[in-house]
Amino acid sequence: MAATIDFSTTRHRDFISRRGESVAWQKALPCSCRNPISGEYDRTHSTCGGTGYLYTTQSVSDYRALLRDVSHNQVLASFGALMLGDLICTTMPDEIPVAVGDLLVIPGRTFRTAHNVVRARGNPPVDTKLDALRCTPVSSITRVWDAGHGEYTQNGVGVVGPEYELSGDSVKWLTPGGEVHNPARDSVYSAEYRYSPTYIAIPERLSIRRPIDGVFMPQRAVLRLKNPEDFRT
């Protein structure tokens, strides 16, 4: 008796739904500056910010992605060379059809970072109360300080009351610039905070699953962490 092959995806969907993680998915569309044959693009192009792609946010809050961490540099027959920090992402292609160049943010994971920030940068500054942070999206600010003042207080914590708060992906100062509880314009202070990492689906590491008898099987892609300095939109 011939064996019967079951192409049902019910178990796949259930497993990904139970064990997967929520993601924010931005679909990549080639910018007009990208050569469709060579793949080269204008790194100074203002429309795409020099990335070669335009991004549109997709609504996938009802779906999950199964993410496996790559713990060391390795070579796999199905993916080629993988680097420490990469993720192998499995999704159902009729739910989250990840393609080359797409961006995925993982809200459930956060990284810590700290760097210098220039107060009210710009001439004139876009907003004298907001200082944008480099790594986004920001989930929380741990502390803000400078050499002259020391540590500033957040959200009403401290003797002097609140001096700043998190607003979107920026430090929002609650008093005018140059006051005792606020760094002067163009001065440098430090910020430590946590943000959700952004990954990009890298070329030639994507398994596209086409429908078999009208049924879509899971697909896998390799995601590589985007350097904040290279992430421009």
Which CATH number fits the domain that encloses residue 31? 2.40.10
In a domain, 231, yes or no: no
In this prediction, residue 232 carries a pLDDT of 40
Q: Is the dihedral of CA 129, 104, 143, 84 positive or negative?
A: negative
Q: Between these two residues, 71 and 53, which has the higher pLDDT value? A: 53
87 lies in a domain? yes
Residue 5 lies in a domain: no
Task: Answer with the residue of higher pLDDT: 106 or 122.
Answer: 106
Given the DSSP bridges, would you call strands 219-225 and 87-91 parallel, antiparallel or unpaired? antiparallel
pLDDT at 147: 85
55 found inside a domain: yes
The structure tokens listed for 65 are 């992605």
- Rounded CA-CA distance 233/231 in Å is 7
- 120 and 104 within one domain: no
DSSP 8-state class, residue 137: S
Note whether 204 and 104 are same-domain residues. yes
pLDDT of residue 233: 36
Of the pLDDT bands very low, low, confident and very high (cuts 50, 70, 90), residue 230 is very low
| Residues 27 and 95 both lie in one domain | yes
Query: Is residue 14 located within the same domain as residue 37?
Result: yes
Q: In what order do the strands lie in the sheet with 66-69?
A: 53-58, 24-30, 103-105, 198-207, 219-225, 87-91, 66-69
Q: How confident is the model at residue 182 (pLDDT cuts 50, 70, 90)?
A: confident
Span 125-150, average pLDDT = 85
Domain of 181, in residue numbers:
111-195
Can you tell me which residue has the tokens 């943010």? 105
Please tell me whether the peptide bond between 137 and the residue prior to it is cis, using omega within 30 degrees of 0.
yes
Any domain includes 230: no
Q: How far is CA 194 from CA 21, 183, 187, in A?
A: 19, 22, 23
> Based on the domain organization, do 203 and 104 belong to the same domain?
yes
Q: Check residue 51 and give its pLDDT.
A: 86
Q: What's phi and psi for 19, nearest 5 deg? A: -105, -10
Element (H, E) at 225: strand 219-225
Q: Which residue has the tokens 């760097």?
A: 115
Whether residue 14 is found in the same domain as residue 100: yes
Domain assignment present for residue 56? The answer is yes
Residue 22 has pLDDT above 50, yes or no: yes
Lowest mean pLDDT among 53-67, 71-85, 100-114: 71-85
221 shares a domain with 176: no
What tokens were used for 98? 């990840």
Q: What is the mean pLDDT of residues 186-198?
A: 92
Domain co-membership, 126 together with 73: no
**Residue 1 in domain:** no
Please say if the pLDDT value at position 159 is more than 70: no
Instruction: Judge whether 232 lies within some domain.
Output: no
Residues 38 and 74 reside in one and the same domain: yes
Q: What is the dihedral of CA 181, 184, 188, 192, to 10 degrees?
A: 30
Is the pLDDT at 231 greater than 60? The verdict is no
Q: Note whether 120 and 75 are same-domain residues.
A: no
Let me know whether 103 and 201 are in one domain.
Answer: yes
Mean pLDDT of the chain: 82
- Assigned token pair, 125: 């500054």
DSSP 27: E
Give the count of domains, the chain. Answer: 2
Same domain flag for 62 and 169: no
